């Protein structure tokens, strides 16, 4: 009987093959589980980053709603106090006239003693009786007290009686009447003084018309708010030639600042009442002819700056909004940025830091470091505030540009280490993306480091908007733009707004030539200066 052949060494062993397959399968399962675990870890990290961003946004919203609105940070660490920079700033401050030198710390405001000499004064004599001064060798008066009195506003009716003369000519009677004063609105029962009061009360003091209606009624005669609104809308057409001249002068300058803010207009063709419409403001003009001009437009498109800046060929300072690119391209404008906008983003990042995480012993955050650099830039600007244009330019080239170069290197080195989407990361990316425009102010001594003058000019509008909330129609919004333009331009030219508005209303009805309208421009009138002691909006 033949024996079976032994198994060949080349023939696979079923048991060893099963073990190899099992190992491979186990490795595949482990790899698959590792991939699942890794994907879970990635998802968890993504969710953690998302939660961190949401918590940061929540802290910022809470700070904006409940904390102080000031952008000053009392806890901010004083960074980069290089001796060379401090000595340079002190040297720059020493070049200023003594009365214009910028102090390192704010001056204490001293209490005003007595009252202004410009106020109307009434003397009240407190006399002795004849019995009390009987036998005296002499008597005299000494001032012992001053009191401030308030004279309430009152309404009065002005009656115009027109004298007429009758002549006999060729057997007919001919009547010649005295000339009547020209009213800017023609038939209107409100004097120019009442119109000026309504404009200043609403657009300078932020009083809505329904409050003005009750205030005027207490003076003895009611004036409906609809009448006031119609007068303001009609006056916008009267003021327009004057504003056109202001716009021409403004666009002939070398440097303008521009900004925009929202306004709600209930009745606008093609738009809902809830949609955003825009109030634009342009500030600038020749140094001796500054103007602040508002303009309403339902759109925020780039075509609006193109329309407003027609024939302007100078330097335009704005925030980072892309809508200004079109006018810069068409007019070949040089555009510079605003460090206030960049700084504000770091301030918001600082406000969103969790409570208890930031103490005097901990290392400064990257937002703090950035604010330290920016604070030094503003310190240089304070030191050179009173210098001539060429001296400012030289100081910026010598001190600001090296500091800016150091700041940029720090930003580029650290931006990648900050979490994407965080407030600090977005602030650093904004600064780097707009770097070319942000450093543009160093190129000329007459430029400003920020767009704050345009923001200050638009602040009275923002404050008034909180009171009157919205405009009913586009005509009302345009009329508001006209009134704000006149008031803020008067302030920019150091004129008291109420006096300037009344001055214009008294004369613009007879201004039938360009020369007569030019005489009403704020830099061509001689009026009492605007009081610097009047509290401004904050």
pLDDT one-digit tens code per residue, 196-243? 999 999 999 888 898 999 998 888 888 999 999 999 999 999 999 999
Extended strands (E) in 240-302: 255-263, 265-267, 277-284, 291-297
Q: Kindly give the pairing relationship between strand 315-317 and strand 255-263.
A: parallel
pLDDT of residue 393: 92
98 pLDDT exceeds 80?
A: no
> pLDDT over 90 for what percent of the chain?
38
pLDDT of residue 100: 38
Q: Which residue has the higher pLDDT, 182 or 363?
A: 182
What's the angle, vertex CA 175, arms to CA 173 and CA 178, rounded to 5?
A: 165
Question: Does residue 22 come out as left (phi exceeding 0), alpha (psi in the -120 to 50 range) or beta?
Answer: alpha
Average pLDDT, the chain: 82
Separation CA 317–CA 454 (nearest Å): 9
303 pLDDT exceeds 70?
A: yes
1 pLDDT exceeds 70?
A: no
Separation CA 30–CA 24 (nearest Å): 10
Separation CA 410–CA 404 (nearest Å): 10
497 pLDDT exceeds 90?
A: yes
Length of the chain: 538
pLDDT digits (tens, 9 = 90+) for 351-390: 767 766 555 556 778 888 899 999 999 999 998 888 889 9
pLDDT of residue 91: 53
Q: Is 159 helix (H, G, I), strand (E, B) or coil?
A: coil
pLDDT of residue 251: 94
Q: Angle 209-217/192-203 helices, nearest 10 degrees? A: 130
Separation CA 462–CA 247 (nearest Å): 22
Separation CA 485–CA 522 (nearest Å): 11
Mean per-residue pLDDT, 331-344: 91
> Which tokens belong to 417?
């280490």
- Neighbouring residues of 253: CB distance < 8 A, sequence distance ≥ 6: 284, 285, 286, 312, 314
Question: Which spans in 287-324 are helix H?
Answer: 303-308
Separation CA 474–CA 481 (nearest Å): 11
418 pLDDT exceeds 50?
A: yes
270 pLDDT exceeds 60?
A: yes
Mean per-residue pLDDT, 90-119: 55
Q: Is 450 helix (H, G, I), strand (E, B) or coil?
A: coil
- DSSP code, position 309: T
> Which tokens belong to 178?
């005295």
495 pLDDT exceeds 60?
A: yes
Separation CA 59–CA 53 (nearest Å): 10
> Which tokens belong to 79?
């960074």
pLDDT of residue 359: 54
- Neighbouring residues of 407: CB distance < 8 A, sequence distance ≥ 6: 370, 373, 374
Mean per-residue pLDDT, 99-106: 41
Q: Kindly give the pairing relationship between strand 255-263 and strand 265-267.
A: unpaired
Instruction: Kindly indicate the confidence band of residue 29, based on its pLDDT and cuts at 50, 70 and 90.
Output: confident
Give the predicted TM-score (pTM) of the model: 0.76
Mean per-residue pLDDT, 489-493: 93
Instruction: Kindly indicate the confidence band of residue 2, based on its pLDDT and cuts at 50, 70 and 90.
Output: low
Q: Is 334 helix (H, G, I), strand (E, B) or coil?
A: strand
> Which tokens belong to 128?
């002795």
Q: Angle 474-492/452-468 helices, nearest 10 degrees? A: 130
531 pLDDT exceeds 80?
A: no
Contact 453, 256 (CB under 8 A): no
**What are the distances in angstroms from CA 426 to CA 122, 296, 405?**
62, 31, 20
Instruction: Kindly indicate the confidence band of residue 420, based on its pLDDT and cuts at 50, 70 and 90.
Output: confident
Contact 417, 429 (CB under 8 A): no
Separation CA 395–CA 90 (nearest Å): 12
> pLDDT over 70 for what percent of the chain?
81
| Lowest pLDDT segment from 141-145, 150-154, 518-522 | 150-154
Q: Which of 185, 243, 269, 206 is nearest to 473 (CA)?
A: 269
pLDDT of residue 464: 78
256 pLDDT exceeds 70?
A: yes
pLDDT of residue 95: 46
11 pLDDT exceeds 70?
A: no
């Amino acid at each position: 009987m033949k024996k079976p052949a032994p198994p060949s060494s080349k023939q696979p062993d079923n048991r060893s093959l099963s073990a190899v397959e099992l190992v491979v399968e186990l490795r595949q399962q482990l790899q698959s589980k590792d991939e699942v675990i890794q994907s879970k870890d990635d998802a968890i990290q993504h969710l953690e980053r998302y939660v961190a961003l949401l918590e940061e946004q929540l802290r910022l919203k809470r700070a904006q709603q409940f904390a102080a609105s000031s952008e000053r940070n009392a806890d901010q660490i004083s960074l980069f106090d290089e001796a060379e920079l401090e000595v340079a700033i002190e040297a720059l401050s020493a070049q200023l006239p003594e009365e214009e030198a910028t102090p390192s710390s704010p001056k204490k405001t001293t209490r005003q003693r007595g009252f202004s000499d410009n106020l109307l004064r009434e003397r009240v004599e407190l006399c002795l009786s004849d019995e009390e001064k009987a036998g005296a060798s002499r008597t005299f008066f000494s001032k012992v007290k001053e009191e401030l009195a308030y004279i309430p506003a009152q309404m009065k009716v002005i009656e115009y009686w027109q004298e007429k003369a009758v002549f006999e000519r060729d057997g007919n009677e001919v009547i010649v009447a005295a000339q009547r004063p020209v009213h800017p609105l023609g038939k209107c029962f409100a004097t120019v003084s009442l119109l000026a009061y309504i404009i200043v009360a609403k657009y300078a003091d932020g009083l809505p018309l329904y409050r003005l209606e009750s205030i005027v009624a207490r003076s003895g005669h009611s004036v409906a708010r609809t009448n006031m609104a119609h007068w303001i809308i009609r006056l916008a057409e009267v003021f327009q030639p004057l504003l056109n001249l202001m716009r021409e002068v403004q666009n002939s300058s070398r440097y303008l600042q521009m900004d925009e803010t929202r306004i709600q207009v209930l009745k606008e063709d093609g738009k809902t009442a809830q949609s955003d419409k825009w109030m634009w403001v342009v500030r600038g003009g020749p140094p001796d002819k500054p103007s602040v001009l508002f303009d309403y437009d339902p759109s925020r498109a780039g075509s609006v700056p193109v329309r407003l800046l027609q024939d302007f060929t100078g330097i335009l300072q704005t925030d980072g909004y892309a809508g200004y690119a079109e006018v810069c391209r068409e007019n070949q404008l040089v555009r510079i940025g605003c460090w206030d906008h960049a700084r504000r983003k770091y301030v918001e990042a600082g406000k969103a830091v969790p409570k208890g995480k930031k103490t005097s012993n901990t290392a400064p955050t990257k937002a703090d470091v950035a604010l330290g650099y920016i604070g030094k830039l503003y310190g240089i600007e304070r030191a050179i505030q009173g210098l001539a244009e060429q001296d400012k330019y030289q100081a910026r080239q010598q001190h600001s540009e090296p500091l800016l170069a150091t700041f940029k290197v720090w930003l580029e080195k650290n931006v990648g280490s900050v979490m994407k989407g965080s407030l600090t990361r977005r602030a650093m990316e904004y600064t780097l993306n707009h770097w070319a425009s942000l450093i543009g102010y160093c190129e000329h001594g007459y430029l400003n480091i920020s767009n704050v003058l345009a923001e200050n000019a638009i602040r009275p509008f923002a404050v008034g908007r909180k009171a009157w909330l919205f405009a009913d129609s586009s005509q009302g919004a345009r009329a508001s733009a006209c009134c704000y333009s006149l008031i803020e331009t008067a302030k920019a030219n150091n004129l008291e707004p109420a006096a300037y508005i009344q001055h214009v209303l008294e004369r613009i009805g007879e201004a039938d030539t360009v020369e007569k309208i030019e005489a009403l421009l704020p830099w061509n009138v001689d009026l009492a200066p605007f009081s610097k002691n009047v509290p401004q909006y904050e």
